Structure 1
Amino acid sequence: MKRILIAGCEQEISSFNPLPSRYEDFSIAAGEALIAAHSEADSCISGFLDSFSDRTDLTLVPVIAAAACSAGPLSAEGFERLSREILTAIDATTSDGVDAIYLSLHGAMGAIDEPDPEGFLLESIRAMVGPDAPIVISLDLHGILTDRMLRNCDAIAVFHTYPHNDFTSTGQRAARLMKAILDIGARPVMARIFIPALVRGPELITETGLYGKIIDRAKTMEDTGEALSAAVLIGNPFTDAPELGSQSLVITDNDPVLAERLALELAQAFWRDHEHMLADLVPLPDALAEIGTRRGPFTLTDAADAISSGASGDSNAILAGLVEANYAGSALIPIVDAPAAAKAHAAGLGARLRLSLGGTVDPKRFPPLELMVEVESLWDGKYTHEVSRMPVHAGPTAVLKHDNIRIIVVTQPVFMMDRAIFLAHGLDPETADIIAVKSPGAAVRYFTFAKKNFVLDIPGSTSANLPSLGHSVCSRPMFPLDDHVTFEPVVQHYPLDERSAA
């Protein structure tokens, strides 16, 4: 009976977040605990598992999966320990034989001294299992697909939606690739084209934007059978790595000529529109002037401090702007501030105290702001994401009231890609005039009730004002970091070794 090993390692980082993440930031599930962790989740692993639920001719072996909230680069010590734990678990399982491996990865992970953690893991796993066991992976479309990754896997399924709502279906597409290899003897060949562009803005919303039309073509390639898999990855522009950029990827069954033609089609379509795929950012004073005294709700998107993209979450820029403007409406603002949360819990419900808010991680960008606040409510920070149905552990949490502004202060950085940070703490965003949204894509999915969304031009380690960040590692020239960037497509074909198609 064939054995398919299941494993994963997922984190997205911002190289511009000054605080490294740690091994302790990862949630790790091994064996049957991995199955339990994904049984009710909207995740790639759950989709992959479900796709094989009716198969009696093979065994799915849950090995280990690690995941962490987006953050700064993983410390060298943290990655050494994490990678050793993952590889040791896989190595122990392969001793009973392995026919195939599925890995749920992100693609925009980064560690100090290791800019390509996913490539390192894949290379190490390939060395363990040899050249013949197929390795199928799934990736976020913000992944940075590297040469080392492509050399050490057989097929890849990539998200097709942004904001992401196809976690489960991407896992199912990965399972379809695995079935094609194991059941009908498919021999995947890949064509990849690097595109020297970093993009960030509303045209990337796949339901409505220009990028979505290109992804629709990739989906059609898969749906009609032209390709086993097709994607355009846009990278995470905040993970400053040597192979950062955008790229097209097409996988066919032993037809490299077709894979090249389709990859060129996608890459050229993307390049035609790339200049339009930047955010139209609004200065905070201009947004507040337009809102004026009107009743909301209005959303202020703070993509510059998007924890889901790797930011620190401790920005107080919107809070400071509202205070400076003497804004009279009601507002909801989440912020990561462990000292403030601790002081609020120590003071207790109803206490009034003067707190320093923001800038606990990134004070150069966010000078701490002192305010008088009232402790309105206290929480343990445990709730569930809307976006994935996965549990949240934000640590001790407090809702603080300053005049008409409510500040949700959490201890740990957590994804804020939906309404859960508000609803879980007794706050209804539909009743507020202004809601600060620390996610570039959340407003169009979960805050559609807002009269208008403003994407702000404010500081942060995930700012869509990309030239302001200070990239120093990625290849150059690169749009929009440099002027007059040109694109001459170069197709790279995989596999390159003895597993190559005849």
Structure 2
Amino acid sequence: MLRIACCVIRSTEHATRNIIMEVIMMIKIATGCIGHETNTFSPVKTDLDSFQGKKSRTGLKIGSEIIDTFKGTKTITGGFIDAAAKLAFELAPLIWTFATPSGAVAQSAYDYLKQLFLEKLTEAGKVDGVLLDLHGAMVTENLEDAEGDLIAAVRDIVGDDVPIISTLDLHANITDLMVEKADVLIGFDEYPHVDCYERGWEAAQIIISILRDGLKPSMVIHRLPMLIAPPKQCTFRPPMKDFIDLAHRIESEQGIVNVTVSGGFPFADIRDAGVSVVVTTDNNPKLAAEKAKEIGDQIWNRRNEFEVTLTPVKQAIQYAKEIGEGPVILADGSDNPGGGAPCDGTVILQTFLEENVQDAVVAVIADPESVQKAIEAGVGNEVQLEVGGKIDDKHGKPVLMAGVVHLISDGCFVNKGPMGTGMKTNMGRTVVLKSGGVEVIITEKRVQVLDQELLKSVGITPVDKKLIALKSAVHFRADFESIAQKIFEVNTPGVHSPDLFQYDYKNLRRPIFPLETEETEFLGETRFLSQ
């Protein structure tokens, strides 16, 4: 009898577990991305081709293509995918596309992608939640806040009872509409963005806590009248590191769900560009407001520590000669395509040639015309090219360069460094042109240098070089800082220059630091805008 009873009990327990698992597996979470970081000062146009055509490095992924692309990668969506398997929920992929940062998005392109996104969401049927992989600084021809517009449209479809969580870049310009329409906003903690995967996991864990455990998020935004240039948003060192550390300490406190410190994107001429702190608690908006203001006050009190010091290119070269050993890295942040610049600036290349430097490489210059001519000349042959300087006159003139075509490549490689690990990068057809002691990597597509594999894929070993010029502001540090003898953030012209006084802002709210100093009053505002 005892054995029979035990069997019945075990059978009942087994059936109960099956029922529980069936209920758990019924949870369906939609996910997708329309991504762009908009530099409104950029001369580079952002059309539909930027998202899905030849200019795109990732293309437009729909449905299961998203899973195939991101599974096994250290990305936000890669985090969503792994979390779905571990936490036992169904992921319903909609669309995913991200254009290389550039100018304002053509309204027709955004409207098309938004409509496609919403169509796929509707086709997915009833969903229990939505996980969005967004940037937070997309501007269209008619909208200062494209992400807020998209989140609001998603909210209209799923209703008020379905949780929406979006990850955001550390450079997001977070708006009231984003906070009002989302349940939780989760920004990156690191710049370089080496924590994308972890933030994707965190977002998934929180949405499951809402659905299964009854978590009731209360989200508050505290906005500061302050712009920070990208080099000083780097979280590897103070002052930004200190504020992220503080955010982590607060996150460990009872009742705190998430703390996001957003440095903002100062190259978007919109009202809400700038620094903000977003704190989410479990049903305690007062606590959220207190903690957001605590962090905001500390940032404001140390605002003068965010001044950027740049080194003239010739001076950096002289320092490199004195150092002797390499590699010495020159960061050309003003022409960073990862922030909307053309990636065809020539100031460093011109100076390298004039100074007759040796064992040097420039990575990269985007110039499809020069790529085509080099390919026509062929590997091992000499060719004379006018390299770069073709998009506008703000980043240097074309450089007349006679050299040997050292290599021709398809421009494809897989990231092996700590940022975007496992993601495929497509630079378009790529050539290496060598003139004297200088090699220049010329690509068809604009691409930020953030992984050593970019150089290795075209036969260049970074540690063997004495001088490396990189088109990047901060992301390069994730994979290059460990091999660099010295890094110089050099003073070059461009639409991503950290000199914020050079920009003709028309829509930005004023006064704002550092554009105004003595007359700036602390106008930080705390808003209770959560769902």
Q: TM-score, normalised on structure 2? A: 0.89
Aligned to 1:31: 63
- Counterpart contact for 2:333–2:473, Cα < 8 Å: yes
Alignment-derived partner of residue 177 in structure 2: 148
Task: Report the CA distance between 1:113 and its aligned residue.
Answer: 1.9
Partner of 1:309: 339
CA distance in 2, matches of 1:409, 1:331: 11
Identity of aligned residues (%): 29
1:317: how far off?
A: 1.0
Give the letter aligned to residue 266 of structure 2: P
Name the structure 1 match of 2:35. Answer: 10
- CA change 1:158–1:267 in 2 (3 A) is same
Task: Extract unaligned runs of 5+ from structure 1.
Answer: none
1:377 correspondence with 2:412 = no
> How many angstroms apart in 2 are the aligned matches of 1:226 and 1:318?
51
- 469-478 vs 12-21, greater mean Cα deviation: 469-478
Q: How far, CA to CA, are the matches of 2:148 and 2:468 in structure 1?
A: 39
Shift of 1:201: 5.5
* Distance in 2 between residues matched to 1:225 and 1:70, nearest whole Å: 38
- Counterpart of 2:371 in structure 1 is 341
Partner residue in 1 for 2:469: 436
Within-5 A mapping of 1:312-461 = 312-385=342-415, 386=417, 387-388=419-420, 389-447=422-480, 448-461=482-495
Question: 2:510 aligns to what?
Answer: 476
Residue correspondence of structure 1 range 10-409 to structure 2 within 5 A: 10-26=35-51, 27-56=59-88, 58-93=89-124, 96-200=125-229, 202-292=231-321, 294-385=324-415, 386=417, 387-388=419-420, 389-409=422-442
Per the TM alignment, residue 167 of structure 1 is displaced from its structure 2 partner at its CA by 0.6
Q: Whole-Å Cα distance in 1 between the matches of residues 273 and 112 of structure 2?
A: 25
* Structure 2: gaps of 5 or more residues: 1-25, 52-58
Q: Assess if the C-alpha contact under 8 Å between 2:71 and 2:82 holds in 1.
A: no
> What displacement does 1:179 show?
1.7
Question: C-alpha distance in 2, partners of 1:62/1:443?
Answer: 30
Shift of 1:473: 2.1
Name the CA shift for 1:430/1:55 in 2 (closer, same or farther; >3 Å).
closer
Partners of 1:490 and 1:71 in 2: CA distance: 30
| C-alpha separation in 2, matches of 1:163 and 1:364 | 26
Inter-CA distance 24–201: structure 2 relative to 1 (3 Å threshold): closer
- Distance in 1 of aligned mates of 2:231 and 2:105: 29
Shift of 1:481: 2.1
Q: Given residue 303 of structure 1, which amino acid in structure 2 is its aligned partner?
A: G
Could you tell me how far apart the structure 2 residues matched to 1:33 and 1:241 are?
Answer: 34
* TM-score normalised according to structure 1 size: 0.94
SS at match of 2:521: coil
Alignment partners' CA distance in 2, 1:165 and 1:197: 25
Which amino acid is 1:82 matched to? L
Query: Aligned partners of 1:210 and 1:441: how far apart in 2?
Result: 15
Which whole-Å deviations, capped at 9, do the CAs of 1:18-53 have from their partners, x for residues lacking one? 011222222221221111111021111121222231
| SS across alignment from 1:98 | coil
> Which has the larger Rg?
2
Q: Which amino acid aligns with 1:218?
A: A
CA RMSD in angstroms, aligned pairs only: 1.7
Asked if the contact 2:37/2:340 (under 8 Å) is kept, the reply is: yes
Number of residue-to-residue matches in the alignment: 493
Provide the C-alpha distance between the structure 2 equivalents of 1:179 and 1:211, rounded to a whole number of angstroms: 30
Deviates more, 1:1-10 or 1:36-45: 1-10
Matched residue type, 2:357: Y
Question: One-letter code of the match for 1:272?
Answer: N
**C-alpha distance in structure 1 between counterparts of 2:335 and 2:496, whole Å:** 6
Task: Give the match for residue 494 of structure 1.
Answer: 529
Q: Distance in 2 between matches of 1:59 and 1:383?
A: 31
Give the superposition deviation at 1:410: 0.2
Aligned-residue offset at 1:12:
1.4
Deviation at 1:216, TM superposition (A): 1.2
